Amino acid sequence: MATETKPVIIPQTNQSLPLPLQDRVAIVTGSSRGIGKAIAIHLASLGAKVVINYNSNSTLADLLVTQINQSLSKSNSPQAIAVKGDVSDANQVKSLFDAAESAFNAPLYILVNAAGVLDPSYSTIENSSLDEFDKTFSVNTRGAYLCCKEGAKRIKKGGGGRIICLTSSMAVALRPGFGAYAASKAAVEALVKILAKELKGTRITANCVAPGPIATDMFYDGKTEEMINKAINESPLDRLGLPEDVAPLVGFLASDGGEWVNGQVVRVNGGYI
Ligand SMILES: NC(=O)c1ccc[n+]([C@@H]2O[C@H](COP(=O)([O-])OP(=O)(O)OC[C@H]3O[C@@H](n4cnc5c(N)ncnc54)[C@H](OP(=O)(O)O)[C@@H]3O)[C@@H](O)[C@H]2O)c1
């Protein structure tokens, strides 16, 4: 049940009011679909110029870029571009940041790291494969590390820049079958809390946003009807989250008003845990 099949609704903006993220350059990794896509649309609706990063599916990324540029761009220059790049590869991460800087001819302001993977076998640690463990840590942890490292170097200092990493409520829910995934996200939470302190004096904040179960390809992949219903029943709000339930929080953290939230893990899960 992919969320991508639904029509994209891009909110129109009131032309006379200044937008909170007007012309601020944002990279959103893993934004061709799912939560990253909703975040990219939301940041663009707040005025940001967004880089839609993906790893394999250029069709979805290009489609989103067209939709954002047609709905929101107020000039002939694009408000969104698509850049392919594997976040676990240091050179590709550097190229992604280079592309963001040159496309909009402005310094980078916001990094949202949403790229992530989850092993859909939901194996116990005893039965899990080492390859899947390595892949999980490679994309989720090494990828977040490389993006944070590049973001800390390149985001404009003194200007209220933002680093936001998507982790997971699973890092505290700790359900069987999610060993490598939960550990890969817990590592990112430690990394980002330290990064926030290391960025003292730059006015750049660093936070994690940790969703609970959200109806995306990642959530549905490999799950039985019973597993899906269990996740719904565990929610006090009796439903799965949607990518649009997560995006406004990221928009707030990215805005000037979000400055005082720094070095935190903000769980956005409808009360799941
Ligand atoms: N869905 C949930 O229930 C849930 C809950 C908590 C946290 N999260 C976290 O939220 C984030 C987004 O999850 P989602 O559910 O939206 O996932 P999703 O629907 O599977 O989308 C994943 C996105 O990441 C990209 N991606 C995957 N590997 C990549 C790589 N190596 N380099 C660059 N991009 C890569 C994909 O691009 P391609 O298609 O081109 O590969 C796609 O755009 C993830 O970090 C996830 O761990 C999700």
CB 208 within 8 A of CB 195: no
Counting from 1 in the atom list of ligand 1, the atom nearest the Cα of 58 is 40
Active-site option among 145, 181, 220, 272: 181
- The model carries a pTM of 0.96
User: What are 265's strand-pairing partners?
Assistant: 208
Atom 2 (ligand 1) nearest CA: 214
CA-CA distance, 249 to 18, in Å (whole number)? 20
pLDDT at residue 72, as a whole number: 83
pLDDT at residue 109, as a whole number: 98
**Domains detected in the chain:** 22-268 (3.40.50.720)
Element (H, E) at 133: helix 130-136
Phi, psi of 163 (to 5 degrees): -120, 125
CA-CA distance, 160 to 260, in Å (whole number)? 11
- Under-70 pLDDT residues of the chain: 1-7, 12-16
pLDDT at residue 4, as a whole number: 58
CA-CA distance, 185 to 205, in Å (whole number)? 19
In b/e form, how buried is each residue of 145-156, taking b as 16+ CB within 10 angstroms? bbbbebbbebbb
pLDDT at residue 15, as a whole number: 63
CA 152 to centroid of ligand 1, rounded, Å: 22
Q: Which residue has the tokens 């999980």?
A: 136
pLDDT tens digits, 229-251: 999 999 999 999 999 999 999 99
For residue 174, what are the contacts with CB-CB under 8 A and spacing of at least 6? 182
User: What are 26's strand-pairing partners?
Assistant: 50, 110
pLDDT at residue 13, as a whole number: 62
What is the separation of C-alpha 187 from the centre of its chain, rounded to a whole number of angstroms? 16
Residue 272 token pair: 């799941």
- The binding-site residues of ligand 1, defined as CB within 6 angstroms of any ligand atom, are 29-36, 53-57, 86-88, 114-117, 139, 143, 166, 168, 211, 213-214, 216-219
Rounded percentage of the chain residues whose pLDDT exceeds 90:
91
CA 33 to centroid of ligand 1, rounded, Å: 8
With the CA atoms of 227, 229, 230 and 235 taken in that order, what torsion angle do they form, in degrees rounded to the nearest 10? Answer: 140
CA 218 to centroid of ligand 1, rounded, Å: 7
Is 181 catalytic? The answer is: yes
